[in-house]
Amino acid sequence: MREHVIEQAGELTDGPVRVAVFRTLADEGGPYAVLRVGLEGAEFVDELTLRPGQQDVLEGIGRLVLLATAPSTRERRGAVRIGLERSEAGRADDV
């Protein structure tokens, strides 16, 4: 599993996989992030709302885990640390 840090409004490309950080927020349940995930050359296929420790398995992409999030404040942008384990279908080096 590869780990990546992405600021809010930033985007990561890992092979054909794109992950964009749409929002980093906090509520009474703690911090959370809204991520948009898809494959390169396609519209974003999924919008995920995750809290640290939560994960989702996305068809054709693999497993994405939100490891940590720092919510945005008036003084700074938020950021996330994710773990991405690409599925065999999502690996460019298998083509």
pLDDT tens-digit readout, 81-92: 999 998 875 444
In tens, the pLDDT along 45-65 reads: 789 999 999 999 998 889 999
CA dist list (Å): 21 to 55, 84, 95: 15, 14, 28
- Any bridge partners for residue 31, and if so which? 26
Q: What average pLDDT does range 73-87 have in this prediction?
A: 94
Contact indicator for 78, 2 with CB cutoff of 8 Å = no
Kindly report the average pLDDT of the chain as a whole number: 89
In angstroms, the first-to-last Cα distance of the chain is 20
